[in-house]
Amino acid sequence: MISRTAPTPDLVQAALAGRRFRLVDSLLAGGLLLSLFSSLLVLITLLADTLRTAAPVFADRGLVFVTAPLSADPAKAGVLQGIQGSLALTLFVMLIGFPLGVSAAIYLEEYATDGGFTRFITANVRNLAGVPSVVYGILGLALFVNLAGGLTNGRTIVSGGLTLTVLVLPIMIITTSEALRSVPATVREASYGVGATKWETIRHHVLPIALPTILTGTVLTVARAFGESAPLLLAGALVTNFFQPSADASVVQLITDERYTALPLVVFNWARQPQEEFVQLTAAAVVVLLVLLVSVNATTILLRDRFEMKSLR
């Protein structure tokens, strides 16, 4: 039963003939605008303050700050190892997380029969996406650093990368599932209708249509992995004023033998240094982090748009 009475023609007439300016409506619109501004204001204040604090560093040292290695001496300190570590971790997430997540989602959506077991798995994946990242850090420490230490060589970038991969996998699976589900059933039926097999249907019809949405999800996932610090702290990334990988090390050794750090951890470490100069350096590192995040996102968005155009053609 609907308790409210439907508007009578009289009411409609009154509304049409009444004043154009309605106080409640404008108050509501004003309030909504204000809530938009309050969140924007915090963001702008934060950005402006960070940029203002960081400005002297970039003015004095320019890009040297980006290419210089970490140092306990604020006049020489740069963020090079942080950038390298963060990009390498992101690469891990892309190379392992993306194929694994998409494959899992294809199985769940296209192959799995809709039984109790599938629903159990789906519900769990959704719950996992909401687990705080620090919990994944503990998992990474127990699983990749300690238990599988023989394979990952302990506190290396392999362990950190795998930890972040596990962290983003549920989000990857959920967004891919949603993308696959949004492909109209008629597309599949038409494909089956002309005699295509299940895999041919998925590969040539379902995936191309779903791909732009899948890649949007990937952008969000990569951004998440890029900015994470808590899981890396636990999985053994360095929080340090200085470290040097051996110059003799090959690329494989750099990944499997040497310690690493990431940009968010550089920010964290610098914020607690005694010297006053590190306040500016911290802000400058935040700026580098933001610029990198935006450029990684922009690259993936550009690529996505390219695929989107292709698949429409």
Partner 1 sequence: MRRTVGARLVIFVGLVTILAACGGATSAGTDPTANDLPGGPAGSIEVSGSSTVEPITALVQEAFASANPSVGISVEGPGTGDGFARFCAGETSVTDASRPIKASEAETCSAAGIEYVELQIAFDGLTVLTSPENAAIGCLDYHDLYALLGPESEGFDTWADADTLAAELGATHAPYPDVPMVVTAPGEESGTFDTFAELVIADIAEGRGADVTTRPDYSPEANDNVIVNNLSTNPTSLGWVGFAFFVENADMVKAIEIDGGAGCVNPSVESIADGSYPLARPLFIYVKTNDLATNTALIDFIDFYLSDDGIANVSKAGYVALPDDLLNAARSAWESASS
Decide whether 56 or 245 has the Cβ nearer to partner 1.
Answer: 245
Per DSSP, which regions of 158-218 are E strands?
A: none
Select the residue interacting with partner 1 from 143, 215, 232, 289 (CB under 8 A): 215
CA-to-CA separations, 44 to 51, 229, 279, in angstroms, rounded: 10, 23, 19
CA 29 to chain centre: 32
Which sign, positive or negative, has the C-alpha torsion 61, 62, 63, 65? positive
Q: What's the rounded Cα separation, in Å, for the pair 250 and 45?
A: 44
Q: What's the rounded Cα separation, in Å, for the pair 123 and 126?
A: 5
Residue 156 C-beta: closest distance to partner 1, Å: 12
Q: Is 67 in the site for partner 1 (CB under 8 A)?
A: yes
Q: What is the DSSP string of 75-92?
A: TT---HHHHHHHHHHHHH
Residue 17 C-beta: closest distance to partner 1, Å: 59
Q: Give the pair of three-digit tokens for residue 196.
A: 């295509």
Decide whether 214 or 284 has the Cβ nearer to partner 1.
Answer: 214
Half-sphere exposure of 172 (CA within 13 A, CB side): 26
Compute the residue count for the chain.
Answer: 313
Select the residue interacting with partner 1 from 16, 185, 251, 252 (CB under 8 A): 251
User: Which range in 11-19, 113-121, 178-186, 243-251 contacts partner 1 by CB under 8 A?
Assistant: 243-251
Biggest alpha carbon–alpha carbon distance for the chain: 87
Select the residue interacting with partner 1 from 134, 153, 245, 297 (CB under 8 A): 245
Count of residues that bind partner 1 according to CB under 8 A: 54
Q: Is 87 in the site for partner 1 (CB under 8 A)?
A: yes
Residue indicated by tokens 């003939």: 17
Q: Is 280 in the site for partner 1 (CB under 8 A)?
A: no
Q: Is 141 in the site for partner 1 (CB under 8 A)?
A: no
Question: What's the chain's Rg over C-alpha atoms?
Answer: 26
Nearest by Cα to 312 from 211, 195, 173, 203? 211
Q: Is 272 in the site for partner 1 (CB under 8 A)?
A: yes
SS3 call for 153: coil
Select the residue interacting with partner 1 from 15, 52, 244, 309 (CB under 8 A): 244
Residue 210 C-beta: closest distance to partner 1, Å: 10
Please answer whether residues 108 and 98 qualify as being in contact, where contact means their C-beta atoms are separated by less than 8 angstroms.
no
Q: Is 143 in the site for partner 1 (CB under 8 A)?
A: no
Q: Crossing angle of helices 263-270/80-92, nearest 10°? A: 140
Q: Is 274 in the site for partner 1 (CB under 8 A)?
A: yes
Q: Give the pair of three-digit tokens for residue 186.
A: 């008629």
Q: Is 74 in the site for partner 1 (CB under 8 A)?
A: no
User: Which range in 117-125, 129-137, 161-169, 293-301 contacts partner 1 by CB under 8 A?
Assistant: 293-301
Q: Is 129 in the site for partner 1 (CB under 8 A)?
A: no
Select the residue interacting with partner 1 from 71, 103, 127, 197 (CB under 8 A): 71
Q: Is 271 in the site for partner 1 (CB under 8 A)?
A: yes
Residue 15 C-beta: closest distance to partner 1, Å: 53
Residues near partner 1 (CB under 8 A) = 67, 71-73, 80, 83-84, 86-88, 90-91, 94-95, 98-99, 154, 203-204, 207-208, 211, 215, 222, 238-249, 251, 254, 257-259, 271-276, 296, 299-300, 303, 307, 310, 313
